[in-house]
Amino acid sequence: MDKRIKVRLRDRVRFETSAETENEYGEKETTWSEYLTCSAEVMPLSATERVVSGQEISEAHYTIRIRSNSANRSIHGLMRAVFDGQVLDISPPQKLSGRNQYIEFRAVQRSSDQ
């Protein structure tokens, strides 16, 4: 049995890490900086919309697969991904079966309209 996973790394994804800084008024601000940009396969899974307290909230769920290497293995769930101009919250990575070639993330894009 051949259990190879066919992955098409056709998309570009930027992973960003956060840092807390203080502005000139002493308030804490979260700033995001680029950690890594790499080729990936981004697969849409599902999308939902609902109304909460009179506010429409939509969520789109994705799976992101990237090639495994030393820099990519240090991506964690406190980072975020930017794909096609959309900010995605990512979950901790999952290793795929095989020879540790790819890493997979679940990602959610959230938006709200008032």
Specify if 104 maps to a domain: yes
**Is residue 2 a part of any domain in this protein?**
no
- Whether 32 is in a domain gets the answer yes
SS (H, E, C) 87-102: EEEECCCEECCCCCCE
Question: Given this model, what pLDDT does residue 4 score?
Answer: 64
86-93 contacts at long range (C-beta below 8 A, 24 or more positions apart): 88/62, 88/64, 90/15, 90/64
**DSSP reduced 3-state for 73:** helix
Instruction: Provide mean pLDDT across the span 24-51.
Output: 93
Q: What is the pLDDT of residues 54-108, one digit of tens each?
A: 889 899 999 999 998 888 889 999 999 999 999 999 999 987 766 778 899 999 9
- The CATH number assigned to the domain holding 66 equals 2.40.10.270
- Quick check: is 5 in a domain? no
Give a yes or no: residue 6 inside a domain: no
Q: How many CB atoms lie within 10 A of CB 88?
A: 22
Tokens of residue 31, six digits: 């700033």
| Tally of domains in the chain | 1
- By residue range, what is the domain housing residue 58? 11-113
pTM summary value:
0.84
In a domain, 64, yes or no: yes
Looking at the domain assignment, is residue 65 inside a domain? Answer: yes
3 part of a folded domain? no
